[in-house]
Chain A
Amino acid sequence: MADFLRALLRSRTGLLGAILLTLFIGAAILAPLLGLPDPVRSDLRGRFAPPTWSGLFSPGAHPLGADQLGRDILSRIIYGSQITLSVATCAVVLGGIVGVFLGIVAGYFGGVVDRILMRLVDIQLAIPLMLLALLVVAALGPNLTNLVIVLAVTSWIRYARIIRGQVLALRSREFVQSARAIGASTWRIMLRHILPNVLTPALVVATLELARVIIMDAALSFLGLGVQPPDASWGRMLAEGRVYISTAWWIVTFPGLAILLTVLSVNLLGDWLRDYFDPKLRT
């Protein structure tokens, strides 16, 4: 752990990503304590208020402007990040559990099981993820739970492929052979001997997936299939603000910047984690 932190401190990009991400997560968690205006309360007199930095701490100041209903954009971005970050995290964890499990099963058993699972991966890869997500959301109905499920569905394959490759190599290692020789059950071997050895690559995949899932979540919300109003979500803010692009550029600009910076920080950290743990995971 100490080694890990020292290496992180020495890397410029990894550290930048970690700091930015900590800031964003901190702001999301501490949002109620930041003294922000109510993100869903409209203020008709403050409609389309442009960003202003004078009197920053006075009530009614909008450092990033206000939207078409007079709601404070900074506040909506920060409260929106609660939803975006928790949906994305849940989706990545759920997809990770399914993907790691199936990856271990495919790699350990090999043969027919492996072939069927890998064909499944191929089939899913042949449907563009965005279309698959749209179809499933349209079929299940747009709400937070379904959003998590859909994003997890688009995510499991990446874990499964990489973990399977790792397990193929682990399967013939001595500690697995000897566990088998002393009569350990298949489940025990997979859980106690294989699983701990694939957690690191799974973590690397999870970080890189988090970035992809955040963008996809925003895209689904942008198309009206994600978080429903009046809750703030970055994608929705973009979709609503787009209409006012010629009169109030700030409504559509800042939520997008928030997505960009979040994804960038996750990517920076993810790239560094991959290079630190195992550069061979680069695909």
Chain B
Amino acid sequence: MTRYFAGKLGEALIAIWGVVTIVFFVTRFLGDPVALLLPVGASPEQMQALTAELGLDQPIWRQYITFLAQALTGDFGQSFQFGRPAIGVVLERMPATIQLALTAIMLGVLIGGTAGAIAAMRRGSIAEFVVMTLALLGQATPVFWLGIMLILLFAVDLGWLPTGGYGSPANLVLPALTLAVFVSASIARLFRSSMLDVLKEDYVRTARAKGLMPATVFTWHVARNALIPVVTMIGILTGELLGGSVVTETVFAWPGVGRLIVQAIETKDFPVIQAGVALIAAIYVATNLIVDLLYALLDPRIKGSA
């Protein structure tokens, strides 16, 4: 168990290092920030001075080593745009992203889990047909378009909710609902198919034959085992949503990390891009580590093999 987890931790650290490296080199292709930072008509001396100040005159490998060493201490340099430490700029936006991601996940798991369970328990019923049709539609709907349609209905036509922005719980409803539709569609389909797989297992028949109550069989034998792939899926989705849902945040003017990074790409704010993507990768990898741990707790076969 410890070895299993240590191995996973090692893989996670390598992944974060890889992401940071890729982002470092890709941002170098984005263009020269010096030209953007100085006012039009700056003298060549001024440009040289700024290049030296930002360390951009150093050979690329030296810039990389310096970057890695500083990144280890959480120092990604000053944001070109805001003139403050980049990591601080990114961290400020985290609460908005976390709030949106967790609300959407909880809503999605609740709706999708219930719908998936109903679909699996009532095979061939109208309920199953409705759930599966809605789930298919939910998976095929582009998230940003769904957001716009919800704005059209609830903000423009009915006037019940604001079209976007941040602050009050009313602002959270539409973006969270938008993301929850996709989450619940994925979870409903997966939970249903994994429950159907489990229902075929011998141990479920045995449990029934022993005369256990249907509710007991459902909780202890079916749901618990059918949850294993669902937990993985929830982990992946949480990791993705915590990375900032770029388009949803854009549609609803939600001040999260995803929108920040898009703006940073437009303004070529290297430090913010690097800090942002590094943080997102770290969150994603950490979420997956937790999922692996949960996995081991849920699935006794992994404990035995490690």
Residue of B nearest to A259 (CB): B142
Contact residues in B for A56 (Cβ distance below 8 Å): none
Q: Decide if A264 touches B136 in the complex (CB within 8 Å).
A: yes
Q: Decide if B140 touches A222 in the complex (CB within 8 Å).
A: no
Q: Decide if A128 touches B280 in the complex (CB within 8 Å).
A: yes
Complex CA gap A200/B265 in Å reads: 39
Known: A122-B18, A135-B23, A256-B148. 7 other contacts (CB 8 A): A126-B18, A126-B281, A126-B285, A131-B243, A131-B246, A131-B258, A253-B149
Q: Decide if B136 touches A222 in the complex (CB within 8 Å).
A: no
What are 15 A-B pairs at a CB distance below 8 A?
Answer: A123-B22, A125-B15, A126-B15, A131-B246, A135-B265, A136-B26, A219-B246, A245-B152, A252-B148, A253-B152, A256-B146, A256-B148, A260-B137, A260-B142, A263-B140
Q: Decide if B262 touches A223 in the complex (CB within 8 Å).
A: yes
A5 at the interface (CB under 8 A from B): no
Contact residues in B for A245 (Cβ distance below 8 Å): 148, 151-152, 156
Complex CA gap A253/B30 in Å reads: 34
Scoring B146, B193, B246, B258 by chain A CB atoms within 10 A of each residue's CB, the highest score goes to B246
Q: Decide if A128 touches B26 in the complex (CB within 8 Å).
A: no
Contact residues in B for A252 (Cβ distance below 8 Å): 145, 148, 152
A83 at the interface (CB under 8 A from B): no
In the complex, which residues 1-60 of chain B have their Cβ closer than 8 Å to any Cβ of chain A? 11, 14-16, 18-19, 22-23, 26-27, 29-30
Q: Decide if A126 touches B19 in the complex (CB within 8 Å).
A: yes
Q: Decide if A134 touches B15 in the complex (CB within 8 Å).
A: no
Question: Provided the pairs A126-B16, A139-B30, A222-B144 are in contact, do residues A131 and B136 lie with their beta carbons within 8 angstroms?
Answer: no
Q: Decide if B11 touches A122 in the complex (CB within 8 Å).
A: yes
Q: Decide if B26 touches A139 in the complex (CB within 8 Å).
A: yes
Contact residues in B for A211 (Cβ distance below 8 Å): 140
Residue of A nearest to B190 (CB): A282
Question: Provided the pairs A134-B246, A138-B30, A219-B142 are in contact, do residues A122 and B14 lie with their beta carbons within 8 angstroms?
Answer: yes
Complex CA gap A140/B27 in Å reads: 11
A218 at the interface (CB under 8 A from B): yes
A190 at the interface (CB under 8 A from B): no
Contact residues in A for B27 (Cβ distance below 8 Å): 135, 139
Scoring B26, B151, B193 by chain A CB atoms within 10 A of each residue's CB, the highest score goes to B26
Contact residues in A for B277 (Cβ distance below 8 Å): 127, 131, 135
Scoring B22, B156, B251 by chain A CB atoms within 10 A of each residue's CB, the highest score goes to B22
Contact residues in A for B240 (Cβ distance below 8 Å): 128
Q: Decide if A127 touches B152 in the complex (CB within 8 Å).
A: no
- Chain A: how many interface residues by the 8 Å CB criterion? 39
Q: Decide if B244 touches A215 in the complex (CB within 8 Å).
A: no
Question: Provided the pairs A119-B11, A128-B244, A134-B246 are in contact, do residues A267 and B140 lie with their beta carbons within 8 angstroms?
Answer: yes
Residues on A close to B: CB < 8 A? 119-120, 122-123, 125-128, 130-131, 134-136, 138-140, 211, 215, 218-219, 222-223, 238, 242, 245-246, 249, 252-253, 255-256, 259-261, 263-264, 267-268, 282
Residue of A nearest to B241 (CB): A128
Contact residues in B for A122 (Cβ distance below 8 Å): 11, 14-15, 18
B104 at the interface (CB under 8 A from A): no
Q: Decide if A267 touches B136 in the complex (CB within 8 Å).
A: yes
Complex CA gap A131/B23 in Å reads: 10
Scoring B141, B142, B251 by chain A CB atoms within 10 A of each residue's CB, the highest score goes to B142
Determine the main DSSP class of B at the interface with A: helix
Write the nearest CB–CB distance from A119 to chain B, whole angstroms: 6
Contact residues in B for A249 (Cβ distance below 8 Å): 152
Determine the main DSSP class of A at the interface with B: helix
Write the nearest CB–CB distance from B298 to chain A, whole angstroms: 18
Write the nearest CB–CB distance from B292 to chain A, whole angstroms: 12
Q: Decide if B246 touches A223 in the complex (CB within 8 Å).
A: yes
Contact residues in A for B156 (Cβ distance below 8 Å): 245-246
In the complex, which residues 98-113 of chain B have their Cβ closer than 8 Å to any Cβ of chain A? none
Counting from the closest, the 10 A-B pairs by CB-CB distance are A123-B18, A256-B145, A139-B29, A264-B140, A128-B243, A263-B140, A126-B281, A138-B265, A122-B15, A126-B15
Contact residues in A for B141 (Cβ distance below 8 Å): 256, 260, 263
In the complex, which residues 195-227 of chain B have their Cβ closer than 8 Å to any Cβ of chain A? none
Complex CA gap A79/B236 in Å reads: 36
Complex CA gap A161/B26 in Å reads: 24
Contact residues in A for B140 (Cβ distance below 8 Å): 211, 260-261, 263-264, 267
Complex CA gap A282/B29 in Å reads: 38
Contact residues in B for A242 (Cβ distance below 8 Å): 148, 251
Scoring A120, A138, A139, A140 by chain B CB atoms within 10 A of each residue's CB, the highest score goes to A138
B284 at the interface (CB under 8 A from A): yes
Contact residues in B for A264 (Cβ distance below 8 Å): 136-137, 140
Residue of A nearest to B283 (CB): A126
Complex CA gap A135/B16 in Å reads: 17
Question: Provided the pairs A223-B262, A245-B152 are in contact, do residues A127 and B22 lie with their beta carbons within 8 angstroms?
Answer: yes
Complex CA gap A260/B148 in Å reads: 14
B114 at the interface (CB under 8 A from A): no
Residue of A nearest to B14 (CB): A119
Q: Decide if B144 touches A219 in the complex (CB within 8 Å).
A: yes
